A = this chain, B = another copy of it.
Amino acid sequence: MPDTSSAASVGLVTPSTACFDTPLELACGRVLPEWELVYETYGELNDERSNAVLVCHALSGHHHAAGYHHVDDRKPGWWDAHIGPGKSIDTRRFFVIVINNLGGCHGSTGPTSVNRESGRLWGPDFPLMTVPDWVNSQAMLADRLGIERFAAVVGGSLGGMQVLQWALSYPERIANAVVIAATTRLSAQNIAFNEVARQAIRSDPEFHDGWYAEHGVVPRHGLRLARMVGHITYLSEDAMGTKFGRDLRTESPNFGYDVEFEVESYLRYQGDTFSTRFDANTYLLMTKALDYFDPAGTHGNDLVAALSPAQCRFLVISFTSDWRFAPSRSRELVDALLHADKPVSYVNIDSPYGHDAFLLPNPRYEAALGGFMKRVAAETAERGETTRSGVSG
């Protein structure tokens, strides 16, 4: 925890768990009879319960977005660059909630949890989740916390899809939506990359149709390959070129298959570490949720019609070098929102870092996101004062 004393860190945080015995009906037709959500909060909920901000995570994310769990943690949460006192999502003003999605492998009910009906791990029997399912479960946690309406729901990539779904599933419960580096539906190429990742995992002999835990193994090779493919799509070609070029790790070509170019070393390292810390069934499930997301699909492919329920204001952010969900994909959303007469701001941020840019610090990104959130905070405070004067008057 290098900056414990830093005013910009939320410091040490402890996750909470909420247990639900209200059955959750899922898009696939199945029902989760009982389930748990692990989540973290940063900042204080105000008396009016009007300053809550929900941050939704992406494919390999989780609830630990800011601060540190232990004093000896080397790294903070995954979005610490943007959540904290004085940061874009300012914890002096907002009560920030980040939830590990159902089906995840960081504490919420998922494939690595015990299925109480069968007594064994859920494994591949865990139902496939969709973005609307996640949003429904998040709304139930909001009920539990007494939050009727979020000042904002914010997320990047798969997180941005959840934000959009919030605006459509619970229009009265979200005042502002911040959709970052996302898309309203995957392209065939996006699905193709997901399919390669899935086939890598599923064709690993240690996968055992998803029951690897019962065999005391993990499909490490498959997960490793899936993550390597993913990483290529997270970085821009230019960022890879700048970071690694054609630099050799060896003095001269070794004319063999050991690590030779720097980029090979990077990919193998990323794949290796991921394969020891992430669950294969969760990875499969998350990629399917990405593939299925398509709000226009149920409206005859009319995105404008699909967006009509939304009542919130939108901020859409994309990054110039993102080729996973390119700026053109964000512009499709912006155009449809404009056609649907919804208030929307759009910023395309110059960044060489590809899709990963949504996780990184960047002055213009902070100005856009921070500026928008400042206005959200000001409105929240105004509404609070109106309420208070109403009560006292």
**Do A195 and B253 touch (CB < 8 A)?**
no
Please tell me if A350 contacts chain B, counting CB pairs below 8 Å.
Answer: no
**Do A255 and B205 touch (CB < 8 A)?**
no
A205 contacts which chain B residues (CB < 8 A)? 205
Stretch at the interface among A59-67, A112-120, A262-270: A262-270
Question: What are the interface flags for A158-202 relative to B under an 8 Å C-beta threshold, 1 for contact and 0 otherwise?
Answer: 000000000000000000000000000111110111011011101
**Do B263 and A188 touch (CB < 8 A)?**
yes
| CB neighbors of B among A224-265 (8 A) | 224-225, 228-229, 231-232, 235, 237, 240-241, 243-246, 253, 255-257, 260-264
**Do A256 and B128 touch (CB < 8 A)?**
yes
Partner among B188, B241, B245, B264 whose Cβ is within 8 Å of the Cβ of A244? B188
Please tell me if A40 contacts chain B, counting CB pairs below 8 Å.
Answer: no
Cα(A295)–Cα(B32), bound, Å: 60
- Closest residue to A128 on the B side, CB-wise? B255
A229 contacts which chain B residues (CB < 8 A)? 196, 229
Please tell me if A276 contacts chain B, counting CB pairs below 8 Å.
Answer: no
**Do B225 and A200 touch (CB < 8 A)?**
yes
Cα(A260)–Cα(B241), bound, Å: 35
Closest chain-B Cβ to A244's Cβ sits at a distance in Å of 4
**Do B203 and A261 touch (CB < 8 A)?**
no
A202 contacts which chain B residues (CB < 8 A)? 257
**Do B255 and A127 touch (CB < 8 A)?**
yes
**Do B257 and A284 touch (CB < 8 A)?**
yes
Please tell me if A313 contacts chain B, counting CB pairs below 8 Å.
Answer: no
A235 contacts which chain B residues (CB < 8 A)? 189
**Do A267 and B192 touch (CB < 8 A)?**
yes
**Do B199 and A243 touch (CB < 8 A)?**
no
Partner among B189, B228, B237 whose Cβ is within 8 Å of the Cβ of A195? B228
Closest chain-B Cβ to A273's Cβ sits at a distance in Å of 15
Cα(A27)–Cα(B187), bound, Å: 43
Question: What are the interface flags for A26-44 relative to B under an 8 Å C-beta threshold, 1 for contact and 0 otherwise?
Answer: 0111000000000000000
**Do B291 and A255 touch (CB < 8 A)?**
no
Besides the contacts A199-B225, A199-B267, what 11 more A-B pairs have beta carbons closer than 8 Å?
A188-B240, A189-B232, A189-B235, A191-B264, A192-B232, A192-B264, A195-B268, A198-B257, A199-B228, A203-B224, A261-B291
A–B Cβ pairs within 8 angstroms, 20 of them: A27-B255, A28-B255, A128-B255, A186-B246, A187-B237, A188-B241, A188-B245, A188-B263, A189-B263, A191-B261, A192-B264, A195-B261, A195-B263, A196-B225, A196-B229, A199-B225, A199-B267, A203-B224, A204-B221, A229-B229
